[in-house]
Amino acid sequence: MGSEVIYHAIDTKKFKPKHETQNKHELGYKETDFIILFIGKMHPYKDPLTLIKAISMAVEKNANLHLVMVGDGELYTEVEKEISKRNLSNYVRLLRYVDNQMSEMYDAADVFVLPSLNEAFGIVLLEAMASGVPVIASNSGACPEVVGNAGILFNQGNYSELAEKILCLSHEKELSRKLSEAGLKRVRETFSWEDKIDQYLKLYKKTCHLKFE
């Protein structure tokens, strides 16, 4: 029997679209603010510094952009210093932990960005898409395979290109809507737990059948 790939999956009942305006207000933002969300370790392979550089360029053209970064790690202090050096304290919020408020963070976001150097899979991409949040990801590792046609890719490490992609989504509401719908569809059809249970059951039955032939 040849190999068979079964993707990771998430609970689409836990992560789903809600009313983002309320969550923006609860985080202290206005309805007109455009919220960019990053969730992940502050680690070199997640490359958070590229995102900081991109935001530095983007806010020069759109002062309503705000970045929320959730995570801790060895680059946390360096990220803090980069934010201070680029005078971004009014545009970037750092949160080490959010306890059980992860779904609320997605609900408040207008776009989710994952700039990883070499992402092994990217569960956060699925969580964002399941929450109806458009995603921008680097073109490295598993990101293109996970995102498919339901998000926007940029050349990893190219912060000027990332800034352009963020600005594009901040202005193109129709594109954001289409990506949101595409992301929801992709997760429900390819990455839901219900679908994976069926796949594992079929594989188990197939394996047992071959074993006892």
Least confident of 24-28, 108-112, 207-211: 207-211
In the chain, how long is the greatest CA-to-CA distance?
69
What homologous superfamily does CATH list for 20-211? Glycogen Phosphorylase B; (3.40.50.2000)
Average pLDDT over residues 77-96: 96
Q: Calculate the alpha carbon distances from 157 to 34, 113, 118, 128, 205 in Å.
A: 22, 13, 11, 21, 44
Q: Calculate the alpha carbon distances from 102 to 45, 61, 69, 91, 124 in Å.
A: 22, 29, 12, 20, 10
Q: DSSP letter string over 35-76? A: EEEEES-SSGGG-HHHHHHHHHHHTTT-TTEEEEEE--STTH
pLDDT at res. 26: 85
Q: How many CB atoms lie within 10 A of CB 173?
A: 10
pTM (predicted TM-score): 0.86
Could you give the CA distance from residue 205 to residue 163 in angstroms, rounded to a whole number? 49
Chain length of the chain: 213
Is pLDDT at 151 greater than 60 in this prediction? yes
pLDDT (tens digit, 9 = 90+) per residue, 35-86?
A: 999 999 999 999 999 999 999 999 999 999 999 999 999 999 999 999 999 9
pLDDT at res. 85: 97
pLDDT (tens digit, 9 = 90+) per residue, 170-186?
A: 999 999 999 999 999 99
Residue labelled with tokens 């502050």: 42
